[in-house]
Amino acid sequence: MTHSPETATVMTAADIDRALTRIAHEIVEAQRGTDKLILCGIPRRGVPLAQRLGAKLANIDASFDPATSLGSLDVTMYRDDLRTSGARTPEPTQLPTTGIDGSTVVLVDDVLYSGRTIRAALDALSDYGRPQAVRLAVLVDRGHRELPIRADHVGKNIPTSRNERVGVRLADIDGLAADAEQVVIIR
């Protein structure tokens, strides 16, 4: 950053928690339960979000076991912009040891923007197995899709311009206090 950017808070810690609670209920409703359900976070910020969704699902439906139904899926090596945006060190991919064949995988990410990350995630997922269905849950949908991809569960739709950036600041990743978490728009 060469100049100090202007930021506006669009979600507070409480808003984020309420949005995740609603998404958890939506997932149970849409799947008619949590049978064969796998929550798969996309590093980095999708992973803690998936863990929180998992904890909420376990509260709603006691048969859901977060220990065997949570995963992370790194998409670095599947991106189509490696040549222009450069090499990032991949994050760990950890999927349930039972595999993903025949399950319903809910991909979890923080911000849905161009859709290219999700395209990469779908490619990555197909290298690990053949899920019965793949769904997408995001905390923020900021528009400007470049691919025919949409989210099944959205925490908040935030209209943005392409010049703006959306920052999701989470306790686990950004080293904040839990009540200081927020989603901001950076102009």
Partner 1 sequence: MKHLLDTQGLGYDDALAILDTAEEMTAVSSREVKKLPTLRGRTVVNLFYEDSTRTRISFEAAAKRLSADVMNFSAKGSSVSKGESLKDTVQTLDAMGADAIVIRHSASGAAAQLAASDWSEAAVVNAGDGTHEHPTQALLDALTLRRGWSSAHSSSPRGTDLSGMKVLIVGDIVHSRVARSNVWLLRTLGAEVHLAAPATLLPYGVESWPVTVHYSLDEALSAAPDAVMMLRVQAERMGGVFFPTAAEYTRRWGLTDERLVVVERLQLGDTEAPALILHPGPMNRGVEISSAAADSPQAKILDQVAHGVAVRMAVLHLLLSQRQHDGNHDE
Q: Which residues bind partner 1 (CB under 8 A)?
A: 74, 77-78, 82-93, 109, 111, 113-114, 116-117, 123, 127-129, 142, 165-167
Considering beta carbons, is residue 40 or 57 the nearer one to partner 1?
A: 40
Amino acid in position 78:
Y
At residue 54, the 3 state secondary structure works out as: helix
Q: How far is the CB of 78 from partner 1 (least distance, A)?
A: 6
Least Å from the CB of residue 15 to partner 1: 19
CB 82 to partner 1: min, Å: 4
Which C-beta is closer to partner 1: that of 150 or that of 179?
150
CB of 29 to partner 1, least distance (A): 28
Given a contact cutoff of 8 angstroms between Cβ atoms, the answer to whether 45 and 137 are in contact is no
Give me the least distance between CB of 73 and partner 1, in Å please. Answer: 12
Nearer to partner 1, 64 or 78 (CB): 78
User: Among residues 105, 72, 104, which one has the least CA distance to residue 91?
Assistant: 72
* Number of neighbouring beta carbons within 10 Å of residue 26: 15
Cβ count within 10 A of residue 129: 13
Identity of the residue, 42 or 57, whose beta carbon is nearer to partner 1 in the bound complex:
42
> Please, is 168 exposed, middle or buried when counting C-beta atoms within 10 Å of its C-beta (0-12, 13-18, 19+)?
buried
* 162: preceding bond cis by omega (within 30 degrees): no
Q: Looking at beta carbons only, is 39 or 95 nearer to partner 1?
A: 95
The two structure tokens encoding residue 149: 């991809």
